[in-house]
Amino acid sequence: MSKRRAVGDFAGVPVISAPGIIQGIDDEMHVQMLGAGQEVGRSCCVIKYKGRTIVCDTGVHPAFSGMAALPFLDELDWSTVDAILITHFHLDHAASLTYVMEKTSFREGNGVVYMSHPTKAVYRFLMSDFVRVSTAGSDDKLFTEEEMLASWSTIIGFDFEQEILLPASNNPESSTSSSSNAAVRFTSFAAGHVLGACMFLIEIAGLRVLYTGDYSTEEDRHLVPAKLPIWEKKPDVMICESTYGQVPTFPRTGMEAQFTTLVSNIIKRGGRVLLPVFALGRAQEILLILDEYWAAHPELHHVPIYYISSLALKCMDVYRQYIHTMSPNVREKFARGINPFDFKAKTSFIRPLERGLAKLNDKGPCVVMASPGFLTNGTSRELLEKWAPDPRNGLIITGYSVEGVMARTIMNEPTEIQALNGGAKISRRLSVDYISFSAHVDYTQNAKFIDEVMPAHLILVHGEANNMSRLRSALKTKFAERKDDIQIYTPRNVETVKIRFRGERMAKALGTLAETTPKAATPLSGLLVSKDFTYTFLAPSDLRDFTGLSTSIILQRQRLTLSVSWELVQWHLQEMYGKIQQGVDKEGLMTMRIMDIVDVKAVGKMDWVVEWVGSVSNDMVADSVIALVLGVDKSPASVKIRLTVVDWSETSMGASSHCSHRHPHAEPITPPPKTTKTLDDAESAGEETSQEKDLPTRLDRLIAFLDSYFGKVELVIPGPKTAGVSSPPLENAAESEKSTEPSVPLEGDTELTPPTTTTTNPEDEEHLAEVETTTAPTLPTQPLVPVIRVHLDDLIADVRVEDLQIICENESFKARVENVVGLAMAVVRPLSEMGAGVFLESVKEVEEGPRGKRVAKVVEGEADNKV
């Protein structure tokens, strides 16, 4: 870890940069084309990642009409869409938007539609014209103008290079996922295709996708070309158009000269020039070229240039309004008071016609620009059928034409064309030329831009299958020569591209956690805060200062009804959790505090309350406490245990050894009046210390465990200066006092009495001790030290209490007893000793205790001597 200062709002605050705190994350992005997959038309790209769904463009196919022209909308649940981003206003990218917004489940979700301000302004006029043209003479209409206007009013506009953060997801399919609210933002950049066209840099949970839409890197008369955005991190995925595939185009200046020469030659031979264009887009560029050429050639001043499109004339105000988004050439003219789009000015040679062919004078040479550009219907199709038989006339296709439309068919120069009304075929004798002014990148420009972006994954869209395949092969060859590892995909419609990412995240430790630099591999504890693609590691106390968030504490209370005594509950809790705190709370209720987390209170004769602050770890402790308390009255140990009045001692009131810190919810509990006693005082008063009381309990549980396993077990304890004497279990020793009846095996709750004792010669005892230390242990008739004697059929094994050593003549039985004792000791130890470095306690010596009880002195044993 490297310690460094934060930036921005956290300047001057200690920060620890910890790469890899969140690492090894597997993420899979899905990209599905509902249109424009190995085709040109009905663009619709679906991006899914981290539970978020973004759709780029919703167009129609120009070669079809009605429902057939729509993208494959049924492949997506539109109610899960977070946002629809429209790149530009062309029909193949935006015309099905109203249908999606008004007639799909998109209305049921919280999705939002975004497009640039110029695109939104033009979109309204363009869609009104689309509704009028598409429904003329047809019942297969997709939507009405009222529906279009209703949806248009909810669209959100934006400016170029404006960063927009999307609201949280409402996706029901991902509502249970922690990633369903992954942050999403996007930024738009000028695409240079038409007015308002943009490409999107989309960022979902830190993963970056560049969706180009239709773009052009070549500067023209009125648009700013697409340029490589300035970014701190390059995109991980690039979704790029491939309209022209591997085909290069002519340089711009040469293309304009060729175009004006063709127009001039047709006019000189007395013909008419038909330029089919779309109402908006390339039409404005061609008008500027012709207006400038006519001004430089006086011999053409008598030849009219007609622009037939009421829609284009309506949108001219939009072009004038957004001149500030156009090229420096246009902005410079506008600054001098010249509006290049004011074609009604006296200095312009363009004659706009708002009422179609009614005022068209085509008796002599002229130039006519008419829509639509694909010659599928409308004014441009009418003029084509009218002028086709005259060889003096000429048709110049100025843009890209998709498969299946008249503009694409006539480029093959057929001798006849089909009349639009389905009548007889019309002879075609006019000349046909193709000069592309479409603002799409050719192979050279596209390859250069891809090379500058250099994404890890490239998805080619918006191109015919052959063009796309050639482009992919050319790019793979180019990147292979440079040994660049780029994955290239060419999906078909409805085919899903699945891209898996495995990355690392970096979290910054701020505030208290950053005051000291931790050593490598040291675990850190705190709150991990995720916001806007960044992770912050904070101490809970710093949460408000750095995030503005506040914390809350949930105090949990569980009421229980138990017909058991306070002392019995206390005994069980101590057996499980070790030392506990006891006292009274501020309301005067008797309280036991377990691990400084859970309070158990007696609120009535049979009413109990368990109280704790809710958290993952605290809930686990509370669950175990509740389960234990509820089982007290059914526990076999509760039946055997002899209840005694518990003195309040310094030991029981001390803090729990498991959690030395104080929790914010923990109210102080006040101990009742008590008399402080030392260990010596307790012994002199005839009272057992906590260690003295703990050993009999643990031995009793060990004996009970062995008894349940083998069926016949007895505790044999020789009296002072005595050998070969058996004794009852320690738990009953206090009750039997100094009874002189012989010992019997442990059988349930049989009442036991102590045996009579015999004394031995001290010299014999010393001799036996010497033999025990110098020879291997054997099974004596009477043991010299306290043992647990285990019987199984005719076999006998003694378990020495002081070190748990097994003494048995049968090795097989000895090994069996060793295994069971090891298991028993793991079970009988209280939870307080588990994993805390506390070893098994062993008996050092047994002697007469206070009031005649047999007391075992206890010391901590070594780890290597214990089971």
Catalytic center residues? 440
Q: Report the distance separating Cα 81 and Cα 723, nearest Å.
A: 87
Q: Report the distance separating Cα 814 and Cα 795, nearest Å.
A: 10
Q: Report the distance separating Cα 555 and Cα 553, nearest Å.
A: 6
- Which position has the token pair 């829509």? 371
For the sheet containing 350-353, what is the strand order?
Answer: 350-353, 305-308, 366-370, 272-276, 394-397, 431-434
Q: Report the distance separating Cα 848 and Cα 851, nearest Å.
A: 8
On whether the CB atoms of residues 55 and 41 are closer than 8 A, the answer is: no
- Which position has the token pair 């441009």? 380
> Closest by alpha carbon to 605, among 641, 639, 560, 653?
560
Residues 6+ apart with CB under 8 A from 137: none
Tokens of 612: 């704790």
Q: Report the distance separating Cα 315 and Cα 128, nearest Å.
A: 12
- Which position has the token pair 């292979």? 480
On whether the CB atoms of residues 31 and 499 are closer than 8 A, the answer is: yes
> Closest by alpha carbon to 661, among 599, 597, 610, 601?
597
On whether the CB atoms of residues 133 and 378 are closer than 8 A, the answer is: yes
Q: Report the distance separating Cα 237 and Cα 202, nearest Å.
A: 10
Alpha-helical runs (H) found in 399-527: 406-410, 443-453, 465-481
On whether the CB atoms of residues 213 and 197 are closer than 8 A, the answer is: yes
Alpha-helical runs (H) found in 176-274: 252-268
Q: Report the distance separating Cα 574 and Cα 596, nearest Å.
A: 13
On whether the CB atoms of residues 41 and 32 are closer than 8 A, the answer is: no
Q: Report the distance separating Cα 557 and Cα 614, nearest Å.
A: 10
Q: Cα 806 vs. chain centroid, distance in angstroms?
A: 58
Please name the amino acid found at residue 264: S
Q: Report the distance separating Cα 248 and Cα 245, nearest Å.
A: 9
Q: Report the distance separating Cα 622 and Cα 557, nearest Å.
A: 10
- Which position has the token pair 């790149």? 87
φ, ψ for residue 263 (rounded to 5)? -60, -45
- Which position has the token pair 């000429």? 394
Please name the amino acid found at residue 180: S
Q: Report the distance separating Cα 246 and Cα 244, nearest Å.
A: 6
